[in-house]
C-alpha cells in the first residue's frame, strides 16, 4: 500500500518524529509512505510529490489548514489521486469541533470559523479522526495517531548527576498556566532542587511575533518571575534532538495546552517523554492518566504547589519512579509502536 501524508512540517515543533516512524515502519512492513513535498525539504523524512499509485491520502492537520508546498493545482492532484473513501483526516488540534474556550485557550474564535472548518473537512472526507479516546462529535472516530518508538528509548540514569533536575521541551503556547503550577511546587523547595530548564520558543528571549495581537496572550510568560527563581529559558531544538534534550533532566513535566486537556488528546510528548531517559511528571487529570498511562502511573501525577514533597521524593528515590516508567514503556511498545499504529491506520483505509 502507498500512503501519502499531507502535513505542514516544522523543524522544531509538531509531529515530525511521528511521521518518520510511520515511513520507516511502512518500509519494514512492505508498504510505501511519504510526506507530500519536495524531496530535500527536511532531513530524516521521506518527502515526495509523487502521487502515482497512491492508495490513500492522509491529511494530518496541525498548526495550519494550508498546503505547505504547492498551490490549488496541487490540491486538485491530491484529491484526484484517490477516491473520497481513501482520504482520511487526522485532526490533531481539535478544530473539528464547535468552539471550545477553557482557561484562556480556544480552538476557534467564532461559530463561523468552526462551521467553515467543519465544512472544509466534510468536503474532503467522511473518515475523520482525532487523537483521543473519546471524541465529542458522533462522526469523529478515535485514532491516537502519535507513536511510541522503542528506538527512542534511553536508559533512565538514576545513579549519576544530570545537567538539570528538571527540563521541559516545548514552546510557550498556552503553557504558562500549567507550568506555573510546576514552578510553585518547586519554589517552596527551590534550595533543594538543582537547575531547571525550559527549552523552546519564548521561554527565554522575547520573540517579536509573540508580542503581537492575539499571540501575546497565547504565549504569555512571566520572565521576571522565572529569573527571580532561577528557571532558565533556553532556545528551541530541532525535532530530532528532542529526546536527547529531555534526557538531560531527572524529571520532565508533561503539560498540555488547556483545550487538549478538555478534549483528552494525546500529543507527541505523551509518548516521547517516557522514552527519553527521564521521569515524566503528569500534570493531567486522573481518568486520562489511567486511560493512557495505566493505573500505576497515578504515582507520577502532580497538581501544583502542594506537590513540593513529590518533587523531592522523585529526586531522592529516582529508582522507584523509574520502575513505573519501565512499566509504561512495556505497555507502549506493544500498543503504540509505529508498526501497531500503521496497522491500525491501514485498517481504516481499507474499510
pLDDT digits (tens, 9 = 90+) for 239-254: 778 888 999 999 999 9
Burial (CB < 10 A; 0-12, 13-18, 19+), residue 102, is: middle
Closest CA to 54 of 117, 4, 123: 4
- For 133, 296, 341, the CA distances from 303, given in Å and listed in that order, are 22, 17, 31
Give the C-alpha separation, 20 to 182, whole Å: 32
Q: What is the pTM of this model?
A: 0.88
Contacts of 63 (CB under 8 A, 6+ apart): 8, 10, 13, 14, 93
Alpha-carbon dihedral angle through residues 103, 108, 111, 115, given to the nearest 10 degrees: -140
Contacts of 177 (CB under 8 A, 6+ apart): 103, 104, 258
Per-residue pLDDT, 57: 96
148: confidence class by pLDDT, cuts 50, 70, 90: very high
Q: Give 328-345 pLDDT, tens digit per residue.
A: 999 999 999 999 999 999
Work out the average pLDDT over 314-319. Answer: 93
> What are residue 282's DSSP bridge partners?
254, 301
Q: Is the pLDDT of residue 65 over 70?
A: no
44: confidence class by pLDDT, cuts 50, 70, 90: low
Q: Give 243-283 pLDDT, tens digit per residue.
A: 889 999 999 999 988 899 899 999 988 998 999 899 999 99
Per-residue pLDDT, 147: 95
- Average pLDDT value over all residues in the chain: 90
Amino acid at each position: 500500500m502507498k500512503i501519502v501524508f499531507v502535513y505542514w512540517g516544522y523543524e522544531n515543533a509538531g509531529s515530525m518524529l511521528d511521521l518518520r516512524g510511520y515511513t520507516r515502519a511502512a518500509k519494514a512492513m512492505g508498504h510505501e509512505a511519504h510526506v507530500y513535498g519536495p524531496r530535500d525539504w527536511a532531513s530524516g523524512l521521506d518527502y515526495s510529490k509523487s502521487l502515482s499509485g497512491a492508495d490513500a491520502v492522509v491529511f494530518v492537520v496541525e498548526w495550519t489548514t494550508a498546503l505547505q508546498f504547492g498551490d490549488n493545482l496541487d490540491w486538485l492532484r491530491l484529491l484526484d489521486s484517490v477516491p473520497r473513501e481513501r482520504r482520511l483526516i487526522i485532526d490533531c488540534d481539535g478544530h473539528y469541533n464547535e468552539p471550545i474556550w477553557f482557561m484562556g485557550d480556544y480552538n476557534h474564535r467564532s461559530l463561523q470559523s468552526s462551521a467553515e472548518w467543519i465544512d472544509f473537512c466534510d468536503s474532503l472526507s467522511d473518515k475523520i479522526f482525532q487523537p483521543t479516546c473519546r471524541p465529542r462529535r458522533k462522526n469523529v472516530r478515535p485514532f491516537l495517531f502519535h507513536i511510541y518508538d522503542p528506538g527512542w528509548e534511553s536508559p533512565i540514569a538514576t545513579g549519576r548527576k544530570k545537567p538539570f533536575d528538571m527540563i521541559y521541551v516545548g514552546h510557550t503556547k498556552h503553557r504558562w498556566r500549567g507550568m506555573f503550577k510546576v514552578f510553585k511546587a518547586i519554589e517552596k523547595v527551590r534550595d533543594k532542587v538543582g537547575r531547571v530548564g525550559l527549552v523552546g520558543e519564548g521561554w527565554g528571549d522575547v520573540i517579536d511575533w509573540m508580542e503581537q495581537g492575539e499571540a501575546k496572550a497565547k504565549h504569555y510568560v512571566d520572565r521576571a518571575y522565572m529569573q527571580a527563581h532561577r528557571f532558565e529559558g533556553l532556545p528551541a531544538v530541532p525535532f530530532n534532538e528532542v529526546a536527547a534534550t529531555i534526557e538531560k533532566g531527572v524529571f520532565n513535566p508533561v503539560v498540555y495546552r488547556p483545550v487538549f486537556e478538555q478534549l483528552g488528546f494525546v500529543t507527541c510528548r505523551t509518548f516521547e517523554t517516557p522514552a527519553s531517559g527521564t521521569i515524566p511528571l503528569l500534570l493531567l487529570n486522573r481518568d486520562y492518566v489511567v486511560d493512557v498511562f495505566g493505573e500505576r502511573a497515578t504515582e507520577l501525577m502532580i497538581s501544583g504547589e502542594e506537590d513540593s514533597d513529590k518533587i523531592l521524593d522523585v529526586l531522592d528515590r529516582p529508582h522507584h519512579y523509574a520502575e513505573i516508567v519501565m512499566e509504561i514503556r512495556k505497555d507502549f511498545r506493544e500498543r503504540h509502536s509505529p508498526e501497531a499504529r500503521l496497522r491500525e491506520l491501514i485498517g481504516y483505509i481499507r474499510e
